[in-house]
Amino acid sequence: MKPVLDIRDLGISFGGLKAVDQVSFQAQRHRITTVIGPNGAGKSTLFNLISGALKPHRGQVLIDGVDMTGAAPERTKAAGLSRSFQITSLFPELTVAENLRLAAQVLEPTGRAFLPVGRSTQALARTGQMLERFQLAHKRDDLAGNLSHGDQRRLEIAVCLASEPKILLLDEPTQGMSHGDTAQTARLVRSLTDDVTILLIEHDIGLVMDLSDHVVVMHQGRKLAEGPPDLVRADPAVQAAYFGHA
Ligand SMILES: Nc1ncnc2c1ncn2[C@@H]1O[C@H](COP(=O)(O)OP(=O)(O)OP(=O)(O)O)[C@@H](O)[C@H]1O
């Protein structure tokens, strides 16, 4: 089957530093592909290259077979790529439902995007679905800024999904969460693969093993290894570079 995301020989340098160097891999539809690697390995830069926040110096990014290399974030978004950030990008002064409806507004047919809220039927329907799915219905009228950290991170994932993307880029979705919140969010992320393909950056190796279908290991800008989580974890080169022992 054609991969939904195809990364080919991607690279960028900052001055003399090759932050991402000759990286190639594919993300298969409805699977979770996780990028791991020590601090400074190039994971965030890779996400920036894929989402269009940075333009690569070499290589290609294909979304559903279409070359999107160097396309601006608005264009990769329109092609079906949605990204959540480590730092929350919610509107704290808007309610939970309003944050979702704003993101879902792109589902309205062209020319109807600025209709009064009550007539944005598709956006409202999607908002309702997201509230249910993310167990936020009882908090729909709470200000996003007043939610707990765990609820804010979950709302942020819901906002990313509200526009019905094909690919979801999640950067450490459970960072800073309590143990209980982490487990709940992990279950949620797993359930999302019915709808989307997920590309994840995650440091918690337990979560990586639990959640991932496929793991890509980065080290000093390069891809060190890739494969199923258990095989990658047992790889001596990965052990040496990432887990600190051979
Ligand atoms: N805009 C930039 N200008 C110069 N150097 C940069 C820039 N962005 C990243 N770097 C460097 O590129 C390398 C890769 O950084 P990156 O943030 O992608 O790593 P990472 O794997 O995401 O690390 P972490 O796990 O700490 O978030 C680092 O050495 C970093 O200092």
Q: Which of these ranges, 59-68, 112-121, 156-165, has the smallest mean pLDDT?
A: 112-121
**DSSP per-residue string spanning 24-44:** EEEE-TT-EEEEE-STTSSHH
pLDDT of residue 89: 80
Q: Are 61 and 172 in a shared domain?
A: yes
pLDDT of residue 244: 64
For ligand 1, atom 2, name the residue with the nearest CA: 14
Domain region containing 120: 88-164
Q: Are 7 and 75 in a shared domain?
A: yes
**Spatial distance between the Cα atoms of 64 and 138, rounded to a whole number of angstroms:** 37
Q: Are 41 and 10 in a shared domain?
A: yes
User: What's the number of domains the chain is made of?
Assistant: 2
40: left (phi over 0), alpha (psi -120 to 50) or beta: left
Measured from the Cα of 41, ligand 1's closest atom is 21
Q: What is the mean pLDDT of the chain?
A: 90
pLDDT in tens, 5-59: 999 999 999 999 999 999 999 999 999 999 999 999 999 999 999 999 999 999 9
Q: Supply the ipTM of this predicted assembly.
A: 0.96
pLDDT in tens, 171-208: 998 888 888 889 888 999 999 999 899 999 998 888 99
Residue 41 Cβ contacting ligand 1 at under 6 Å: yes
pLDDT of residue 246: 43
Cα 84 to ligand 1 centre (Å): 18
Q: Are 107 and 228 in a shared domain?
A: no
Residue 203 domain-assigned (yes or no) = yes
Q: Are 142 and 104 in a shared domain?
A: yes
Residue 43 Cβ contacting ligand 1 at under 6 Å: yes
Q: Are 56 and 172 in a shared domain?
A: yes
For ligand 1, atom 3, name the residue with the nearest CA: 14
For ligand 1, atom 5, name the residue with the nearest CA: 14
| Position 108 confidence tier, pLDDT thresholds 50, 70, 90 | confident
pLDDT-above-90 percentage for the chain = 72
Measured from the Cα of 203, ligand 1's closest atom is 25
User: HSE (CB half, 13 Å, CA atoms) of 44?
Assistant: 10
pLDDT of residue 85: 72
Q: Are 131 and 231 in a shared domain?
A: no
Residue 23 Cβ contacting ligand 1 at under 6 Å: no
pLDDT in tens, 114-137: 666 666 688 899 999 999 999 999
Instruction: Specify the DSSP element, H or E, that contains 188.
Output: helix 179-191
Q: Are 7 and 64 in a shared domain?
A: yes
Residue 233 domain-assigned (yes or no) = yes
Q: Are 173 and 70 in a shared domain?
A: yes
- CATH code, 29: 3.40.50.300
Q: Are 70 and 15 in a shared domain?
A: yes
